[in-house]
Amino acid sequence: MLLSFFMMPLHSVNRHYPTALAEDVEAFKLADELGFEEAWIGEHYSADIEQISSPLMFLAHMAPQTKRIKLGTGVLPLPLYHPVMAASHIALLDHLAPGRLLLGIGTGGLGSDFEVFGMEQADRTAMMLDSIEIMKKIWASDPPYDIPGKFWDVKLSRNYWPDLGVGILPKTLTRPHPPLAVSVSSPYSGSMRVAARNDFMPISANFVASWVVKTHWETYCDELAKLGKTPDGSKWRVARSIHVADTDEEAERLVKTAGGAYDWYYDYMYRVYERMGAGALLAPFRDTDPATITHQMVRDNFVIYGSPETVARKILALREEVGPFGTLMMTSHEWVDKPAMRRSMELLAKRVMPAVNAALGENVPAMAV
């Protein structure tokens, strides 16, 4: 099993923006130093607490500051981009981070973003699929272009002057394009079927219960069976909130500290879902009465925490429950206690994952020591 790092990012309201950005950069660099396989970062515009408006810019900033870690957009909301702009920006980053770009694509996930862009009623899934197909054609062919789409048409012929290099759109370094991924969160998510049909790498979100994650694998397998294909768990990534400390007691104390990194995060997610009228989506178990859900209940059931031995056991139990995911994505949480959060990443990389892979009998590259 491989280990990667996912950052929404999520910071407390009114955090000093430069400080929060510096922490995000430091976390990415630490993941690289510790031998994490990947690091992903999200995109949001209209949220004080999720302050990365361009993962492409952030990853371009991180490329020269990291050595080996793959850099992923988690995700790029394609409905908000013209396909020519997205294709050109992605091609540029693929050259700046040669061989290390992973392209997570999606529809976007923040209602205020949809409102500010005037896209609340848009068929964003159809737009995402239209956009990626157009981009693939741009990357795979040369001008002149006449690419009809459902939402965009790309035409370029009158101003194509090849002798002057005019009218030529950039190609990605990775051929035919960087690996594509899509995130999923709802039970039996249709996005898993989209992933299966389009050979996207599926990523199950960390803010859903394990029983929901299990439905993702079931849905993925069902769709692939219809296509006559065999599911490959190595393509599947599962994100989880994880905190590792030297003892179970130390880990539990930090995770359950009122207003701490994990408590605040799940209080925030609980209030967001409640405000959307979707609190039932945070049910820790299939039969949980939505009226009984509290953010503490969500926190205690969604966070994997404990000593290295306890966390290794819990990760193995999770994989046994939900299905054979090939990559575990540690979700970043705010560095309220920086030494403890850095220590958690170190213990996960150096002690937990070797124990997990030894139990699974899997041979993976040694992580940093």
Q: How far, rounded to the nearest angstrom, does the alpha carbon of residue 297 sit from its chain's CA centroid?
A: 24
So what's the pLDDT on residue 368?
45
Per-residue pLDDT tens for 238-249? 999 999 999 999
Per-residue pLDDT tens for 132-144? 999 999 999 999 9
Q: Say if CB 33 and CB 5 are below 8 A apart.
A: no
d(CA 158, CA 286): 59
Per-residue pLDDT tens for 251-271? 999 999 999 999 999 999 999
> pLDDT tier at 362 (50, 70, 90 boundaries)?
confident
Q: Omega before 75 cis (within 30°)? A: yes
- Kindly tell me if the per-residue pLDDT of 107 is higher than 90: yes
Query: By C-alpha distance, which of 311, 318, 324 is closest to 354?
Result: 311
- Kindly tell me if the per-residue pLDDT of 360 is higher than 90: yes
| Main-chain phi, psi angles of 166, to 5 degrees | -95, 140
Reported in sequence order, the residue ranges of the chain that DSSP labels E, i.e. its strands, are 2-7, 38-41, 70-77, 101-106, 145-147, 154-156, 180-184, 201-204, 237-244, 303-306, 327-331
So what's the pLDDT on residue 109?
84
Find the distance separating the first CA and the last CA of the chain, reported in whole Å.
18
Q: Which CATH topology does 2-239+324-339 take?
A: TIM Barrel (3.20.20)
Residue with tokens 């949480």: 333
Question: What average pLDDT does the chain have?
Answer: 96
- Kindly tell me if the per-residue pLDDT of 76 is higher than 90: yes
Per-residue pLDDT tens for 153-211? 999 999 999 999 999 999 999 999 999 999 999 999 999 999 999 999 999 999 999 99
Name the CA radius of gyration of the chain, rounded: 21
> pLDDT tier at 364 (50, 70, 90 boundaries)?
low
One-letter amino acid for residue 268 of the chain: Y
Per the DSSP assignment, residues forming a β-bridge with 242 are: 304
d(CA 198, CA 219): 14
What residue ranges do the domains of the chain occupy? 2-239+324-339
Going by their DSSP bridges, the two strands 101-106 and 154-156 should be labelled as unpaired
Q: Which residues have C-beta within 8 Å of that of residue 317, sequence separation ≥ 6?
A: none
d(CA 125, CA 122): 9
6-15, 43-52, 104-113, 153-162 — which one is most confidently predicted on average? 153-162
Handedness of CA 246, 69, 206, 238 (dihedral sign): negative
- Kindly tell me if the per-residue pLDDT of 353 is higher than 60: yes
Judge residue 73's burial from the number of C-beta atoms within 10 Å of its C-beta, 0-12 exposed, 13-18 middle, 19 or more buried: buried
What mean pLDDT do residues 262-286 have?
A: 94
So what's the pLDDT on residue 363?
65
Going by their DSSP bridges, the two strands 237-244 and 201-204 should be labelled as parallel
- Kindly tell me if the per-residue pLDDT of 367 is higher than 60: no
| Main-chain phi, psi angles of 215, to 5 degrees | -65, -25
Is pLDDT larger for residue 14 or for residue 131? 131
Per the DSSP assignment, residues forming a β-bridge with 347 are: none
- Kindly tell me if the per-residue pLDDT of 369 is higher than 80: no
How many other C-beta atoms lie within 10 A of the C-beta of residue 142? 12
What mean pLDDT do residues 123-150 have?
A: 98
Is pLDDT larger for residue 366 or for residue 260? 260
